[in-house]
Amino acid sequence: LAKTTQPISMDSYEGQEVNITCSHNNIATNDYITWYQQFPSQGPRFIIQGYKTKVTNEVASLFIPADRKSSTLSLPRVSLSDTAVYYCLVGEHLFYQAGTALIFGKGTTLSVSS
């Protein structure tokens, strides 16, 4: 499995854009990059997924450079409700890519203040 490295914590204020970078130097050719969000005492929630370049959905953008050794989750104009732990996941084998047997790292705790 590709090892991921993320900042342990980040602080932001409401209305700011937040960028969380994940390093995954050993990413394999067939790996996708997936981000999950988790609020306290709840299960993680899928945010966004990508393979290369840029992916955007209604909640976030994911930027992946050409070498794919890192990725950046961008949250536009965060609010207090975006305070959560954000996990970057990269998998190697078929089962992982099927949304099963996910291996979570420590994640990044984002704290948004007013």
Partner 1 sequence: KAGVTQTPRYLIKTRGQQVTLSCSPISGHRSVSWYQQTPGQGLQFLFEYFSETQRNKGNFPGRFSGRQFSNSRSEMNVSTLELGDSALYLCASSLGEAGWEKKNTEAFFGQGTRLTVV
Where along the sequence are the contacts to partner 1 (CB under 8 A)?
30, 32, 34, 41-46, 49, 87, 91, 94-95, 97-107
Shortest Cβ 96–partner 1 spacing (Å): 8
Shortest Cβ 81–partner 1 spacing (Å): 17
Shortest Cβ 63–partner 1 spacing (Å): 18
Report d(CA 51, CA 58) in Å as an integer. 18
Name which of 80 and 94 has its Cβ closer to partner 1.
94
H or E element at residue 78: none
Shortest Cβ 114–partner 1 spacing (Å): 27
Tokens of 96: 């992982």
Name which of 34 and 70 has its Cβ closer to partner 1.
34
Other C-beta atoms closer than 10 Å to the C-beta of 38 total 16
C-alpha separations of 20 from 38, 60, 71 in Å: 15, 11, 8
Are 87 and 107 spatial neighbours (Cβ–Cβ below 8 Å)?
Answer: yes
Name which of 54 and 106 has its Cβ closer to partner 1.
106
Half-sphere exposure (Cβ direction) of 65: Cα atoms closer than 13 Å? 10
Name which of 1 and 10 has its Cβ closer to partner 1.
1
